[in-house]
Amino acid sequence: MRAGVALLLLPLAGCTGAQSALDPQGSVAQRLGALFWLFVAVLGLIWLAVLLVLAVALRRRAVSAAPSGERRAGRVVTAATLATALVVAGLTLASYRATHGLSDDAAAPLVVQLRGYQWWWQVTYPGPGGGLVTANEIRLPAGRAARIELSAADVIHSFWVPNLAGKQDMIPGRDNALTLTPLTPGRYRAQCAEFCGLQHAHMALMVVVEPPEDFAAWMAAQRATPAAPADPELAWGRRLLEEKACGACHALRGSRAAGQLGPDLTHLASRDTLAAGMLPMTPGSIAAWIADPQQIKPGNAMPRVELAPDELRALTAYLASLR
Amino acid sequence: MSAQPALPTAAEEAALARAWSRRPGFWGALAAVDHKVIGRRYIATAFVFLLLGGLAALAMRWQLATPEARWLTPDLYNQLFTTHGTSMMFLFAVPVMEAMGVYLLPLMLGTRNIAFPRLNAFSYWIYLAGGLLLWGSLLIDMAPDVGWFAYVPLAGPQYGAGKRADIWAQMVTFTELAALAVAISIVATVFKQRAPGMALDRMPLFAWAMLVTAFAIILAMPAVMIGSTAMILDRLVGTHFYNPAEGGDVLLWQHLFWFFGHPEVYIIFLPAVGMISTMLPTFCRRPVFGYLPLVLALVGTGILAFGLWVHHMFTTGLPRLGESFFTASSMAIAVPSGLQIFCWLATLWRAEPRPGDLTRTPMLFIIGFFATFILGGMTGVMVAAVPLDTQLHDSYFVVAHFHYVLVGGAVFPLIGALYYWFPKFTGRRLSEARGRWVAGLLILGFNLTFFPMHWLGLAGMPRRVYTYPPEMGWAGVNLFVSASALLLAAGFLLLLVDVALSLRRGAPAGDNPWDAGTLEWATSSPPPPYNFAALPVVRTAAPLWDGNGPLPVATGLATDRREVLLTTVLAASPETREPSPEDSIWPFWAALATTALLIGSIFTPWAVVWGAIPTTAALVAWFWPKTAEEDR
């Protein structure tokens, strides 16, 4: 037991993880963190007190059989039960108060639509012309409330970015939403929290919180449609994307690839990670992924497409240029 | 019928033995309906499933010991965690608790067999078939891979490919059918077969706990059977109960499942509470403190258990006001739990033990229960709060929480109870020396394994992931957890060794090795097939502690055929003599036919039609009316 307690405290010393409820960087998560430590303090004290009474009871050996002793014990048990009821009622009230803070109330939040697929995330910033569609990464301006609208395309998923807020499920046939306000710029990892099949473990999402001006710049860059490349290898890569199977599932604005089944590729290389958080976004990762997606993430929907080595090189170079 | 110490003659005892013994040989074994035989089989089988589930857990811990390990494929990992959870909940925890009741209740209540003994035998065969179905499917790589709560649409026709989810759903039907059959037997036994004079307020608390548990089973299990049947219908004949595209609702499944699933936790926990309330007085050498509050706490918990299910669904987006109601009810259940703990502490505080009583192996497990279960209860209060649950739900924090509650709250008392009642089951004692090591290894190993998981959950690790990236910072703690799991496994291994050695070489127990006060200790160890040569008559809650010399007995039951005494529900006044069923092979055949029907229905709905024919035939043979021997 004691070793366990020490073990709990040890990692707390350096908890600045990218995905941790112990390091709240959003308004909702901060309120939840405060409530959590209140519960830990109250309940931990009660636990210690009960064990202390147990230890004393096991050691003590002078018991009078007098009925007065039974009556006194009866009074103590009654009092302890009443105290339990009071503590529980107090914690329930604290919980109710915090329930109001589970979702920020904002007049004009930034709306982001998040749709869960096996095993990746489609991200839409609504706007004219279908809005801006991207995948596996959300960017948010620090200090502004964001309303994340949650839906699921296939099975139940759950959106959980512990540094910023508690989780909310994404359920087929239902519309859920969560409003949170990120406070500190940084990169926060989110992960699907509802078991969703074979690659549930590899369904992550980066939430990048930026100063508002950086966010605006990112948004402008994302809205731009990539021009057809002049470099012959890149141009060949783009042709391959359109002519091989890629375009059947993936869309790339401004090209003939307009599939709707997989992640949008328009600004693929601007994202932190590939394959929903599995690989860092490098040309090497892109090439490895295209060469054998089933080896890297068994069971995912992307088939292996036969490419000659120089075709793979050209396609990779083109995708890596989509910043 | 009179209450007088008229002990039966040797000739009468020989007649009783002839009337109640099971027939020899293989077919005799299959036809047995003695509650002790069925109870022993049930307990042994449940422990086999515990060990198998534990092995599955060790395999998972091996995989999780290092980040991005490729030792298990995600497919096999998903089968393993589903089989682990399903096996522990449906094949170990609930059945073993019911089995302890099946074995002990007739002895504690002073009767010769359980009510509906053939139904009880049928239940065991059905349970065994369900367990073999699940573990057999793992052997052929067809085990369910959708989690023990099998959420749709992942378990539905569109995303749950193959027959895996069907096997899960039918396994549920098997185990719930078995559980319902035992629950009905228990309710009837407790209400109608208590020894004369054992009014409800003199009944051992274990019997109260089993009574409340049996009612909870009867009320909770139908929900999951309906739910899983609707799932099979969706999958097999194309209904749309859970398909939102056709007007169905995926949350309907979650409501049905958790309306069963939450009471299930108390179905496992309440018998353990009853065991503690029965063992503790023996070692404290005094009646339990607060019998009436303890009974009220049991009943209160049983009722509240049905008002909590939505706390498993706090993140699904239900209206916040409704969720708040379930926060209040979930937290409120801490009050009866607290009351029980305070009564036990008062029992200990005012104990009059003999030297060494409070450090016997069963007591060590009760002490382990206090430390572990109460911590699980505390984290239970945390996950009951909607705001906190949004962070903790579906993370490793919850994995830690429910293992603390179920292992600390149910498995530790159960193993204590095994040490306590093993002498009665077998006539031999388990080793106290090895028992200390078992208790130490299990309690320490458990806490070292599961306590760090609280931190893993807070650090963002979701449950049911087959691996995790190295950069998450979870690797060190996961390695520690996996190593500690070996310690826990060593504890179970030593328990197995102790049982195996003690079965052959344990010290002879005698009738009442602990000097306990309840009726099961009034007969020999192991008890004869008829339990009691003469039915005891009861005047207090601890009849063997009356200090009035030998127990008074009731006479008048037939000795040459099976008869039990029925008594009134409240006061247990003698009412009538009732024939108790003879051994019969037909429950076995009926279970076999039902098994064929249920397994066949995984593949074709026509199995229900054709399978009904042999099932009906077996039931007709089972219930074929016979002239009562008395009337011949």
Whether the per-residue pLDDT at B509 is higher than 90: the answer is yes
Give the model's pLDDT for residue B3. 42
Whether the per-residue pLDDT at A85 is higher than 80: the answer is yes
Provide the 10 A C-beta neighbour count for residue B626.
10
Q: What is the DSSP letter of B404?
A: I
Residue A239 shares a structural domain with residue A179: no
Split at pLDDT 50, 70, 90, the class of B628 is low
Whether the per-residue pLDDT at B291 is higher than 70: the answer is yes
pLDDT in tens, A93-103: 999 988 877 77
How far does CA A211 lie from the centroid of its chain? 20
Give the model's pLDDT for residue B323. 87
End-to-end CA distance of chain B: 23
In a domain, B283, yes or no: yes
In a domain, B616, yes or no: no
Residue B272 sits at φ, ψ, to 5 deg, of: -65, -40
Given an 8 Å threshold on Cβ–Cβ distance, is B151 in contact with A195? yes
Between A39, A102, A171, which is nearest B316 by CB?
A171
Between A36, A166, A298, which is nearest B73 by CB?
A298
Give the model's pLDDT for residue B629. 60
Name the strand (E) or helix (H) holding B623.
Answer: none
Query: In the structure encoding, which two tokens stand for residue B488, read together?
Result: 């826990």
Q: What is the pTM of this model?
A: 0.95
Residue A285 shares a structural domain with residue A210: no
Query: In the structure encoding, which two tokens stand for residue B141, read together?
Result: 């790589």
- Check the CA dihedral B375-B381-B384-B386 and report its sign: negative
Give the model's pLDDT for residue B2. 41
Region A111-133: mean pLDDT is 94
Q: Is residue B564 within 8 Å of residue B22, measured between CB atoms?
A: no
Region B306-323: mean pLDDT is 91
Q: Is residue B261 within 8 Å of residue B227, measured between CB atoms?
A: no
Region B385-410: mean pLDDT is 96
In angstroms, the CA B248 to CA B251 distance is 9
Residue A181 shares a structural domain with residue A250: no
Please name the residue of chain B whose CA is at the shortest distance from the CA of residue A167: B390
Cβ burial of A301 (10 Å; 0-12, 13-18, 19+) is: middle
In a domain, B163, yes or no: yes
Residue A215 shares a structural domain with residue A236: no
Residue A124 shares a structural domain with residue A203: yes
Residue A115 shares a structural domain with residue A214: yes
In a domain, B629, yes or no: no
Cβ burial of A293 (10 Å; 0-12, 13-18, 19+) is: middle
Structural domain ending residue among the three candidates A222, A243, A261: A222
Residue A244 shares a structural domain with residue A286: yes
Mutation for testing the B interface, residue in A31, A92, A104, A180 having most B CBs under 10 Å: A92
pLDDT in tens, A148-206: 999 999 999 999 999 999 999 999 999 999 999 999 999 999 999 999 999 999 999 99
In a domain, B526, yes or no: yes
Closest chain A C-alpha to B505 CA, distance in angstroms: 32
Query: In the structure encoding, which two tokens stand for residue B8, read together?
Result: 């039966």
Contacts of B467 in chain A (CB under 8 A): 201
Strand partners, A169: A158
How far does CA B316 lie from the centroid of its chain? 30
Residue A252 shares a structural domain with residue A198: no
Split at pLDDT 50, 70, 90, the class of A4 is very low
Q: Using omega within 30 degrees of 0 as the cis cutoff, is the peptide bond preceding B526 cis?
A: yes
Residue A192 shares a structural domain with residue A255: no
DSSP, residue by residue, B90-150? IIIIHHHHHHHHHHHHHHHHT-SS-SSHHHHHHHHHHHHHHHHHHHHHHHTT----STTTT
Range of the domain at A132: 110-222
Closest chain A C-alpha to B382 CA, distance in angstroms: 7
Region B549-557: mean pLDDT is 84
Give me the CATH number covering residue A202.
2.60.40.420
Strand partners, A152: A116
Residues B196-208 as b or e (16 or more Cβ within 10 Å = b) = bbbbbebbbbbbb
In a domain, A271, yes or no: yes
- Taking alpha carbons only, the member of B22, B57, B54 closest to residue B40 is B22
ipTM of the assembly?
Answer: 0.93
Strand partners, A209: A140, A186
Average pLDDT, whole number, for chain A? 91
Least confident of A15-24, A269-278, A301-310: A15-24
Give me the CATH number covering residue B297.
1.20.210.10
For A:254-273, CB contacts with B below 8 A are: none
Region B470-480: mean pLDDT is 95
Mutation for testing the B interface, residue in A194, A205, A273 having most B CBs under 10 Å: A194
**3-class DSSP string for chain A:** CHHHHHHHHHHHCCCCCCCCCCCCCEHHHHHHHHHHHHHHHHHHHHHHHHHHHHHHHHHCCCCCCCHHHHHHHHHHHHHHHHHHHHHHHHHHHHHHHHHHCCCCCCCCCEEEEEEEECCEEEEEECCHHHCEEEECEEEEECCCCEEEEEEECCCCEEECCCCCCCCEEECCCCCEEEEECECCCEEEEEECCCCCCCCHHHCEEEEEEECHHHHHHHHHHHHCCCCCCCCHHHHHHHHHHHHCCHHHHCECCCCCCECCCCCCCCCHHHCCEECCCCEECCHHHHHHHHHCHHHHCCCCCCCCCCCCHHHHHHHHHHHHCCC
In a domain, B14, yes or no: no
Contacts of A118 in chain B (CB under 8 A): 159
Please name the residue of chain B whose CA is at the shortest distance from the CA of residue A161: B460
Tell me the three state secondary structure of residue B428: strand
Closest chain A C-alpha to B408 CA, distance in angstroms: 13
Mutation for testing the A interface, residue in B253, B349, B401 having most A CBs under 10 Å: B349
Report the half-sphere exposure of B327 (CA within 13 A, side-chain side).
29
Whether the per-residue pLDDT at A12 is higher than 70: the answer is no
Give the model's pLDDT for residue A65. 65
Closest chain B C-alpha to A96 CA, distance in angstroms: 7
Give the model's pLDDT for residue B320. 84
Name the strand (E) or helix (H) holding B566.
Answer: strand B563-567
Give the model's pLDDT for residue A129. 82
Residue B480 sits at φ, ψ, to 5 deg, of: -60, -45
How many inter-chain contacts (A to B, CB under 8 Å) are there? Answer: 257
pLDDT in tens, B66-102: 999 999 999 999 999 999 999 999 999 999 999 999 9
Give the model's pLDDT for residue B436. 97
Split at pLDDT 50, 70, 90, the class of A7 is very low
Tell me the three state secondary structure of residue B182: helix
Give the model's pLDDT for residue A15. 36
Would an 8 Å CB–CB cutoff place A7 in contact with chain B?
Answer: yes
Give the model's pLDDT for residue A16. 38
Give the model's pLDDT for residue B6. 60
- Of residues A246 and B322, the one with the higher pLDDT is A246
In a domain, A27, yes or no: no
What percentage of chain B reaches a pLDDT higher than 90?
Answer: 90
Residue A174 shares a structural domain with residue A261: no
- Taking alpha carbons only, the member of A3, A2, A12 closest to residue A36 is A12
- Taking alpha carbons only, the member of B433, B174, B204, B166 closest to residue B298 is B204
Region A50-68: mean pLDDT is 84
In this structure, the strands spanning A110-117 and A146-152 are: parallel
Residue A135 sits at φ, ψ, to 5 deg, of: -155, 150
Give me the helix-helix angle, B117-139 and B74-86, nearest 10°.
170
Split at pLDDT 50, 70, 90, the class of B482 is very high
In a domain, B623, yes or no: no
In angstroms, the CA B223 to CA B255 distance is 9
Whether the per-residue pLDDT at B5 is higher than 60: the answer is no
In angstroms, the CA B293 to CA B405 distance is 22
Region B223-232: mean pLDDT is 94
Provide the 10 A C-beta neighbour count for residue A55.
12
Residue A293 shares a structural domain with residue A206: no
Domains in chain B: how many in total? 1
- Radius of gyration of chain B measured on its C-alpha atoms: 25
In a domain, B627, yes or no: no
Q: What is the DSSP letter of B554?
A: E
Would an 8 Å CB–CB cutoff place A279 in contact with chain B?
Answer: no
Between B331, B348, B352, which is nearest A58 by CB?
B348
Name the strand (E) or helix (H) holding B372.
Answer: helix B361-384
What percentage of chain B reaches a pLDDT higher than 70?
Answer: 98
Query: In the structure encoding, which two tokens stand for residue A244, read together?
Result: 């091989």
Give the model's pLDDT for residue A106. 76
Residue A247 shares a structural domain with residue A170: no
Contacts of A44 in chain B (CB under 8 A): 378
End-to-end CA distance of chain A: 52
Region A52-76: mean pLDDT is 85
Structural domain ending residue among the three candidates A222, A241, A272: A222
Query: In the structure encoding, which two tokens stand for residue B425, read together?
Result: 């089951």
Region B227-251: mean pLDDT is 94
Please name the residue of chain B whose CA is at the shortest distance from the CA of residue A172: B244
In angstroms, the CA A288 to CA A282 distance is 10
Residue B494 sits at φ, ψ, to 5 deg, of: -65, -35
Range of the domain at B511: 28-584
Give the model's pLDDT for residue A62. 65
Domains in chain A: how many in total? 2
- Radius of gyration of chain A measured on its C-alpha atoms: 27
Closest chain B C-alpha to A1 CA, distance in angstroms: 6
pLDDT in tens, B125-156: 999 999 999 999 999 999 999 999 999 999 99
Whether the per-residue pLDDT at A221 is higher than 70: the answer is yes
Strand partners, B579: B563
Closest chain B C-alpha to A264 CA, distance in angstroms: 23
In angstroms, the CA B332 to CA B315 distance is 21
Those residues with Cβ within 8 angstroms of residue B388's Cβ, 6 or more apart along the chain or in another chain? A32, A35, A36, A39, A95, B382
Give the model's pLDDT for residue A21. 93
